[in-house]
Amino acid sequence: MAAALGLVVSPSAGTGRGLTLGREAARRLEAAGHHIVPLGAPTVDETRSLIARAVRGRAVDGIVTMGGDGTIHLALQHLVGSDLFLGHVPFGTGNDIARALGLTTMWETGLEHLLDTLERAEPVSLDVMEITGGHGTTYGLAVLSAGLDAIVNEAANGYTWPHGHARYLRAIAAKLPRYSPRTYRITVNGRTNTGRALLVAVANLSSFGGGLTISPDSDGRDGVLELILAKPLTMPEVMSVFPKLYEGRHLEADFIHVHRTGKVVIDAVGEGVTAMVDGEEVGPLPVTVTVLPQALRFLC
């Protein structure tokens, strides 16, 4: 069925190939009978305003994002609770959401899949994380980070080289040796505990950090979040567990604890901590993370 699609393209993704690939995607979507409403702008704030206006005015049936997790995050803020759908064509780096949902991370194959899905499939309903605190209310789809994981994520965002997962490895190498675990006050499932932790993450989907399977049991469809905590570790312990993150086998370690919950409150005691979600800054702790079941219609 033909649809009116708002197209949001990350111009910087794919080493700057975004605009070229966006034009090609628009051409092929129009050739398939869809009406394209360009929603790109020179700045993120302008793009955000265009998306909000299109959603509020029902100028489109759905939003198609092209790029990495950050592009999805931008559109997500305006689609939660709406009956408009979100489709995605991944390219560039930081495709953890696509990876967790079983989508290809190759642009050409991703566009073919989107065209086929628009023709043959209905959107699926995904859970969303509502995060209050920080800079206000933010929505996240994959993983919120509030420990070393957040500091590594923030550092990786500042690198222009290398590309892909290697950026996260560079950030880990730079930040881990000088990192001192923080003290947190965390309320989950009606209990509040205070203690030091190396890693603090809340997962709705399985993947973060450019391909690390932080929470293999998270699928975004069960109405439950996973809180993953890692106690302070020595450098040898970190190096021994890190390779297991690629396959999700780190949960076997006795210094990793997982809590399944619908809501968690995370605060830092003493030194301030900045939280990140889906690679984007949320703001300083404390934050409250609540699952919103089936709050997003997504073309998988």
| DSSP assignment of the chain | ---EEEEEE-SSHHHHTHHHHHHHHHHHHHHTTPEEEE---SSHHHHHHHHHHHHHTT--SEEEEEESHHHHHHHHHHHTT-S-EEEEEE-SS--HHHHHTT--S-HHHHHHHHHHHHHH-PPEEEEEEEEEETTEEEEESSEEE-SHHHHHHHHHHT--SS-TTHHHHHHHHHHGGG--PEEEEEEETTEEEEEEESEEEEESSSEETTTEES-TT--SSSS-EEEEEE----HHHHHHHGGGGGTTGGGGSTTEEEEEESEEEEEEESS--EEEETTEEEEESPEEEEEEEEEEEE--
In the prediction, which pLDDT does 239 show?
72
Q: Determine the pLDDT at residue 244.
A: 74
Annotated domain spans of the chain = 4-121, 131-298
Taking only the tens of pLDDT, the chain with its 300 residues reads 689 999 999 866 555 577 889 999 999 999 999 999 999 888 999 999 999 999 999 999 999 999 999 999 999 999 999 999 999 999 877 789 999 999 988 889 999 999 999 998 899 999 999 999 989 999 999 999 997 766 766 666 666 666 666 767 776 667 666 767 889 999 999 999 999 998 899 999 999 877 788 999 999 999 999 999 999 887 777 777 777 766 777 888 888 999 999 999 999 998 888 999 998 999 999 999 999 999 999 998
pLDDT at 201: 95
CATH architecture of the domain with residue range 4-121: 3-Layer(aba) Sandwich (3.40)
Question: What is the pTM (predicted TM-score) of this model?
Answer: 0.91
| The domain made up of 131-298 is a member of CATH 2.60.200.40 | yes
